[in-house]
């Protein structure tokens, strides 16, 4: 048995697929992973023993400019990704028994599955994009809804229209080329009536939150056995647990001056700092020996040895920090990040920074909450409740679906 897994997005979209691929391998199932060909992702999948089949352009080439991509870039990227999926997935699906897609709306993936007669699953890592009568859709390129419109049913219908304008022409053009009829609602075709939610039930409860019949598997972890760099080990051993600061794949989305603000905030509390460079290229502000800069690092090994984690609120970082029992300060910027920030605060395992433009003073105030003994105790308690088996749950479901 073989399963095709595909995504296009940040590390938070790629690493869970690697975790799922490892779980499938434990069940004797082969996998192919189609993902963006960024060097970071190639290395990540090699570490998992899963070769990467390149899909579309690199993510860094799209997001690493001086400004975040806008509507014009989105309307240029959408047909490129649709074309890449029709071409790449059709070839990669040879000999496969099912197709699972995730990441940036994978328009084209269900069409390939339909043409080849394969079972198709859409997996997501949060609830933000799933239609719901309880909350409005997030922002999307295209004609905006009226600010006076408050009916969520209307807003979600308009969201589907924006998706159709963004992806519909390319999808239907490629469908026609392979003898399939046009699709009038690409969004709902991609989502299906029964998407899978690869998020921890405690961090992201789903009951009654969406109009779809969500299958929640738990988060998909890629086991990481890599040792920490020797220099970092020595730094950790030389003093009290530091504050970790990292904004992952945010690149142009990272707050301006975040490195200086976070370092000054940590120092105000007498804490040392581990600064992750990430795609934003964060660097120390001086030669102080209390700040250690790292590149790609094993967060599963590092986070349990920190006093707090300051980050952007991506699903992966939030869940890894929660599982490690590390208090968090979440500075949300886009997409699902405000949800994770709010949930961290609601659970009492950290603080949600109220402003996307943090200062040393505002971060210091948030750190005061995160570093409080009661927050640390609560974070440790929640960490023991995070399910570690989400990838295996999903792998067994995929085997059942494909077999």
Collapsed DSSP state (helix, strand, coil) of residue 351: strand
Q: How many residues are there in the chain? A: 403
What total number of domains does the chain contain? 2
Higher pLDDT, 106 or 252: 106
Could you say which DSSP state residue 3 is in? E
The answer to whether residues 190 and 245 belong to one domain is no
Q: What span, in angstroms and rounded, lies between the C-alpha atoms of 176 and 168?
A: 12
Sign of CA dihedral 129, 87, 89, 60: negative
62 and 111 both lie in a single domain: yes
Question: What is the mean pLDDT of the segment spanning 279-294?
Answer: 90
> What mean pLDDT value characterizes the chain?
94
Is pTM, for the whole model, over 0.85?
A: yes
Both 198 and 243 in one domain: the answer is: no
**Could you report the per-residue pLDDT of 15-29, keeping only the tens digit for each?**
999 999 999 999 999
Closest CA to 325 of 291, 348, 359: 348
Q: In the structure encoding, which two tokens stand for residue 6, read together? A: 């595909």
Both 336 and 392 in a single domain?
no
As a whole number of angstroms, the distance between CA 226 and CA 216 comes to 29
- CATH number reported for the structural domain that contains residue 256 in this entry: 3.40.50.2000
- The answer to whether residues 76 and 25 touch, using CB atoms and an 8 Å cutoff, is no
H/E segment holding residue 167: helix 152-177
pLDDT, residue 99, reads 98
pLDDT in tens, 125-181: 999 889 999 989 988 889 999 999 999 999 999 999 999 999 999 999 999 999 999
Q: Are residues 376 and 394 in the same domain?
A: no
- Predicted pLDDT of residue 251: 63
357: helix, strand or coil? coil
pLDDT value of position 253: 65
Q: Rounded distance, CA 345 to CA 11, Å?
A: 24
Burial status of residue 121 (CB atoms within 10 A of its CB: 0-12, 13-18, 19 or more): buried
pLDDT at 66 over 70: no
- Alpha-carbon torsion angle 246, 249, 253, 257, nearest 10: 30
Give the tens place of pLDDT for each residue, 303-337. 999 999 999 999 999 999 999 999 999 999 878 88
Q: Are residues 77 and 182 in the same domain?
A: yes
- For residue 76, name the pLDDT band (cuts at 50, 70, 90): very high
Residue whose entry in the numeric block shows the structure tokens 């490892």: 22
pLDDT over 80 (residue 356): no
User: Same domain for 379 and 394?
Assistant: no
**Residue 230: other Cβ atoms inside 10 A:** 8
Among 216, 198, 217, which residue's Cα sits nearest to residue 207? 216
Query: CB of 395 within 8 A of CB of 27?
Result: yes
Distance (Å, whole) CA 360 – CA 271: 14
Task: Single out the residue of 123, 102, 99 nearest to residue 111, CA to CA.
Answer: 99
Domain span at residue 187? 2-221+388-402
Percentage of the chain exceeding pLDDT 70? 98
Q: Do 64 and 146 belong together in one domain?
A: yes
Report, as an integer, the average pLDDT of 89-102: 97
Q: 78 and 186: one domain?
A: yes
Tell me, yes or no, whether 217 and 273 share the same domain: no
pLDDT tens figures, 374-402: 999 999 999 999 999 999 999 999 999 99
pLDDT digit string (tens) for 198-256?
Answer: 999 999 999 888 999 999 999 999 999 999 999 999 999 999 999 999 987 666 667 77
């Amino acid at each position: 048995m073989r399963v095709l897994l595909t995504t296009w997005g940040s590390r938070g979209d790629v690493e869970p697929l690697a975790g799922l691929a490892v779980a499938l391998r434990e069940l004797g199932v082969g996998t192919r992973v189609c993902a963006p060909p960024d060097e970071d992702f190639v290395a990540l999948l090699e570490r998992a023993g899963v070769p990467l089949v390149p899909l579309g352009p690199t993510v860094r080439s799209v997001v690493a400019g001086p400004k975040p991509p806008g509507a014009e870039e989105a309307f240029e990227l959408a047909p490129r990704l649709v074309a890449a999926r029709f071409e790449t997935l059709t070839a990669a699906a040879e000999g496969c028994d099912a197709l699972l897609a995730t990441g940036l709306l994978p328009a084209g993936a269900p069409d390939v599955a339909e043409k080849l007669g394969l079972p198709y699953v859409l997996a997501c890592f949060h609830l933000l994009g799933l239609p719901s009568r309880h909350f409005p859709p997030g922002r999307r390129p295209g004609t905006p809804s009226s600010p006076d419109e408050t009916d969520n049913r209307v807003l979600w219908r308009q969201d589907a229209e924006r998706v159709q304008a963004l992806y519909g022409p390319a999808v239907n053009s490629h469908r026609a080329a392979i003898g399939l009829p046009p699709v009038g609602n690409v969004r709902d075709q991609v989502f299906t009536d029964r998407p899978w939610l690869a998020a921890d039930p405690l961090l992201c409860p789903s009951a009654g939150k969406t109009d779809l019949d969500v299958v929640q598997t738990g988060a998909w972890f890629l086991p990481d056995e890599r040792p920490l760099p020797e220099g970092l080990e020595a730094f950790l051993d030389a003093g009290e647990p530091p504050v970790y600061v990292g904004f992952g794949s945010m690149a142009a989305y990272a707050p301006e001056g975040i490195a200086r603000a976070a370092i000054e905030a940590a120092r105000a509390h007498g804490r040392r700092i581990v600064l992750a460079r990430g795609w934003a290229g964060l660097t120390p502000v001086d030669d102080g020996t209390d700040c250690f800069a790292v590149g790609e690092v094993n967060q599963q090994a590092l986070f349990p040895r920190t006093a707090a984690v300051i980050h952007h609120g991506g699903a992966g970082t939030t869940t890894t920090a929660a599982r490690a029992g590390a208090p968090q300060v979440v500075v949300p910027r886009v997409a699902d990040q405000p949800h994770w920030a709010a949930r961290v605060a609601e659970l009492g395992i950290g603080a949600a920074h109220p402003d996307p433009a943090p200062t040393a003073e505002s971060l210091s105030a948030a750190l005061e909450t995160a570093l409080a003994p009661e927050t640390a105790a609560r974070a440790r308690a929640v960490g023991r409740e995070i399910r570690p088996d989400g990838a295996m749950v999903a792998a067994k479901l995929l085997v059942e679906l494909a077999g």
